[in-house]
Structure 1
Amino acid sequence: MSLMSMQGVSIRHGSFPALSNVDFAIEQGEIVTVVGPNGSGKSTLLRALIGAVKPYEGRITRQDAMRIGYVPQKLHIDPTLPMQVARFLALPGRVSSEARATALHRAGAADLGARPMAGLSGGQLQRVLLARAILHEPQLLLLDEPTQGLDQPGAAAFYRRIEDLRAEIGCAVLMVSHDLHVVMSASDRVICLNGHVCCEGHPESVASAPAYRALFGSGTGGALALYRHEHDHEHDAGCDHDHAHNPEAAE
C-alpha cells in the first residue's frame, strides 16, 4: 500500500478549479518533486495531503497512524516576539531537549538552538523549520518550495541535506520546487502539475525530453511555462497548454 494517495481528487478555491481529477501516490522512501507554473495547484496539493484543504470530489488515503512532517513555503515571525529556536521547536507540546538537539543536528542547524527566531536569516529559518518537521521522524516529509529565497549553492546544499535525511530516517519526501535543475539529481520522480497531473516520470527521462528542454532551456531562462498534455503517455514529458490556470490565483 502506498504511504499516501489521491484518487480523482478535485479542489476548488471558490469558483476557481485549483485541482481537477488528480491521481497521485507516493511510496515509502522515494523522493518526488512537483513542478508547475504559478497557480497550477502545487501548494494546494500539499495542503490537501496534510488535511488543510478538503476535496469536493475524489478521496485521499493514508496509511494508518502515518507521521507527516511539513515545511511551509514561508512563516512570518513577529520581530518583537522573544522566542528562541529551542522554545519554538517545543511548541505546542513538550519535546525533550535530546529530541530537539537531534533534529537541529540532522537539519544542519545544531548551533541555532539558543538563537532568537526573529534574528534568523532565510536559510537558517528554513533549516529550523526542517528540524521542526523531522522532530518525530516522519514517514512522509512534505516541503513547499523550501529553498525560496536561497541562492543556487544554498539550494543545492539544502537538497543534499534532504537526501541525507531520507537515508537517516527512511522517510519519503514530496517537495514542491522551481529549482528543477538543482533537484533533478535528488529526485526519484518528477511530476508536472497544471491543475491536473499532466506528466510524470524519472528525472532522466524528463530531463532529456523536448518538453523539458523547452521549459527550462535558455529560451525560457529557467522559468516554468505552461504545458502540452499527452493523455496517451502519462509518463511522457509532454505537457498541456489547454488547462492553463490564472497565474495570479493563489495556490
Structure 2
Amino acid sequence: MNLIDARGIDFSHGGHRVLQGVSLSVAPGEIVTIVGPNGSGKSTLLRVLIGALKTQKGSVTRQSGLRIGYVPQKLHIDPTLPMTVERFLNLPHAVAPDAAAAALRAAGVPGVAGRQMSQLSGGQFQRVLLARAILARPHILMLDEATQGLDQPGSAAFYRQIEAVRRDLGCAVLMVSHELHVVMSASDRVICLNGHVCCEGTPEVVSAAPAYRELFGTGTGGALALYRHDHDHGHDHHHEAAE
C-alpha cells in the first residue's frame, strides 16, 4: 500500500488556479523529487499532501497512522532570542537527551546541542531542522526546498545526508526543489510540475522528456546535472553527467 495517494488535486488561491488535476503517490522507502519552475505549485502541493491546505477538488489518502517528518523551506528565529539547539528540539514536546543526540548524529551535526540556533551556519541550521523532522522516526520525510540559500557543495552534501537518513530509517522521501544541479541526486522517481504534472519517471527519462526540456532547456542553460548514487551500497558514488 502506498504511504500517500493524491488523485485529481485542484487548488486555487485568490482566483488563480495553482494546481489542476494533479495525481501522485509515494510508496514505502521511495525517494520522489518534485521539480518545476518558480510559481509551479510545488510548495502548495506539499502543503496539500501534509494536510495543511484543503483542496477544492480531488482527494488525498494517507496510510493509517502515517508519521510525517517535515523540513520547511525556511524558518525564522529571532536572532536576539536565546535558544539552544537542544531547546529547539524540545519544542513543542520534550525529547530524551539521547534521542536528540541520535537525531543530530543522523542529520550530520553531532555535538551542536549546546550551540545557539542564531550561531549556526546555514547548512548546520538546515541539518538541525532535519534532525527535528526525524525525531519521530517518520514513515515519510518531506522537504520543501530545504537547501535554499546553500551553495552547490552544501546542497549536494545535504542531499547525500538525506540518502543516509533514508537508509538508516527506511523511510520514504518526498523532496521539492528547483535546484536542478543537485536535486536528482538520490531520486528513484522525478515529477515535473507546472500547475499540472508535465512528466514523470526516472531522472534519465524525465530529463529527456520534451515537456521537461521545454521548461528548463538543454545544455548548460538547463543547468541539469545528474548525480547518480548506488543505493545498494553503504558508500556514495556520484558521477556528474551534464545534459
Q: Tell whether the structures are fold-level matches, with TM greater than 0.5.
A: yes
Which residue number corresponds to residue 232 of structure 1? Answer: none
CA offset at residue 185 of structure 1?
3.1
Does the 8 Å CA contact 2:5/2:61 hold for their aligned counterparts?
yes
Which residue number corresponds to residue 78 of structure 2? Answer: 78
CA offset at residue 216 of structure 1?
4.9
CA change 1:105–1:219 in 2 (3 A) is: closer
Cα distance in 1 for partners of 2:151, 2:220 equals 21
RMSD: 1.5
Cα distance in 2 for partners of 1:37, 1:185 equals 18
Structure 1: which 5+ runs fail to align?
A: 224-251
Counting matched residue pairs gives 223
Measured against aligned partners, the alpha-carbon deviations of 1:141-164 in whole angstroms (never above 9, x if no partner) come to 000011111111111111111111
Pairing of 1:149-188 with structure 2 (within 5 A): 149-188=149-188
Letter in 2 for 1:90: N
SS in 2 for 1:108: coil
Structure 2: which 5+ runs fail to align?
A: 225-243
Cα distance in 2 for partners of 1:53, 1:171 equals 23
Cα distance in 2 for partners of 1:211, 1:170 equals 32
CA offset at residue 184 of structure 1?
2.2
SS in 2 for 1:25: strand
Cα distance in 2 for partners of 1:52, 1:45 equals 10
Which residue number corresponds to residue 60 of structure 1? Answer: 60
Cα distance in 1 for partners of 2:217, 2:86 equals 40
Letter in 2 for 1:152: Q
Matched, 1:97 2:97: yes
Measured against aligned partners, the alpha-carbon deviations of 1:149-182 in whole angstroms (never above 9, x if no partner) come to 1111111111111111111000000001122232
Pairing of 1:154-233 with structure 2 (within 5 A): 154-209=154-209, 212=212, 215-218=216-219, 220=221, 222=223
Query: What TM-score, normalized by structure 2, do the two folds share?
Result: 0.87
Cα distance in 2 for partners of 1:148, 1:216 equals 22
- The farther-off stretch of 135-144 and 147-156 is 147-156
Cα distance in 1 for partners of 2:39, 2:178 equals 13
Which residue number corresponds to residue 235 of structure 2? Answer: none
Matched, 1:131 2:131: yes
CA offset at residue 221 of structure 1?
5.1
Letter in 1 for 2:115: R
SS in 1 for 2:104: helix
CA offset at residue 183 of structure 1?
2.7
Cα distance in 2 for partners of 1:195, 1:14 equals 15
Query: What TM-score, normalized by structure 1, do the two folds share?
Result: 0.85
Cα distance in 2 for partners of 1:14, 1:206 equals 31
SS in 1 for 2:11: strand
